[in-house]
Structure 1
Amino acid sequence: MTEKEAGLKAFADRLNISLDAIHFAASGEGRQDALAKYMGVSQKGARKWLVGESYPVEDKRNRLAALCKVRYEWLMTGNGERYADDRTLRSQAENIETRVSDSLIRIPVMNVECSQGCGRYPPDYETMMDEICISETWLRHNALFSSPSNLSIIVGVGDSMKPTYQDGDLLLVDRGITEIKVDAVYVFRLHDEMYVKRLQSRPDGALLMISDNKAYEPFVITIENRAELKILARILFALNVNRL
């Protein structure tokens, strides 16, 4: 087997593993047909990707990685982390010893910037940049959260959530909340971009994506588009200070 053939086989293995993980049609002709329709290519073209006969053309690769919910670099080369979403954030945050003492808990500050405006792509690698220690008694008095181990801090970017949150505010989030049970402000992924917005359920099953800054119009997430929505965390509050 040549080096090129080995590379193609490894790519096909990663592609099929990723499609299995998202339950994207069973292997065989059914998967070939479904992938061809989704990607806008012929069945023959999709089959070549799946069996390791060719790589996708350049303009199809990002869409394929987005479908598989994996990093582009990992899918195409096998290098780096497989995921670039909250699973990376969660795995790193969970390795941190949460409790400092009987009264203090440690909360990681992650290198994640979420858009309070038009959306923002997540970083390829999500790592802990710093940590903040907070009184658990004070925290439980001021916020309801699932578990101390699910807490982390990210940065909100943009002005669309003013006056509630300011551009650059540190936002305390609960990663244990991944469903919309009440109308609140969430961190979520929509069409592969991350947002911080208020989400409000509508009787017809759609959602309103609301900016607290009245200069921005609400956006409707239709029932059809809800399949593209992934709740990553709920915002508890901002750790902000008055800037002098």
Structure 2
Amino acid sequence: MIVNKSVQNFKNRLTEIMKGDSVSTFAKKCDMSETVIRDYLSGKTYPSLNRLASISEKCNVSYSWLATGHKLEEIHDTENDNVYSEYIHRIPVYIKQLPTVEEAKTQKYVRGTPPVMNYPVLDGWLSHRGLDPKKLIIYWAKGDLMAPEIKQNNGLIINTDIHEVIDGGVYLLEYEEMTLLRRIRLTLDGWQLLCNNNQCETITVLRTDFKQYKIVGNVVQIIKDLY
């Protein structure tokens, strides 16, 4: 059987905060009966959470110390070595996949998109990749044009901080009212927008037509459900 020594030693902490006061004086200070205080001092009974809070407030001592013998602010970091703590950034969803107010209230799927409007990313991973969290968005993939690499509703973390187009990179693009997810192959004349699906035709974009396409960003991570 595990014995909670912190609880057993409560009477010692109670004696300490009484500072030599009589049981009668201390009981009045805490708005409790002398019998209750005597029971605490003898170890016969222990205070409820409410009474612990009342005593700590009346005596101006730490609630955690009174209950456990430790002050939370004084616990050494080594006691928490097994607790993983790292700042988490929330990556917002691509603006065109945001739900309307009505859709958000009902938590319904939006245009076939899972109702996840942001995605948690660890600060350490961002630092390792050299990415700015303020320049990232999440896009929920549609269709099978990039399968099997990217499938329907896979989450894609997109880096919108684009300085140059990298040959072979996968990019999210906007053309007129359409959103395209394509692999860009650089050519002497411009770009080729490629799919993994052989049934999809390659789109050739000449340099003179670049301004018709807006590059939203490139894919830096694919989030997949395994089952």
Q: TM-score under structure 1 normalisation?
A: 0.46
Q: TM-score under structure 2 normalisation?
A: 0.49
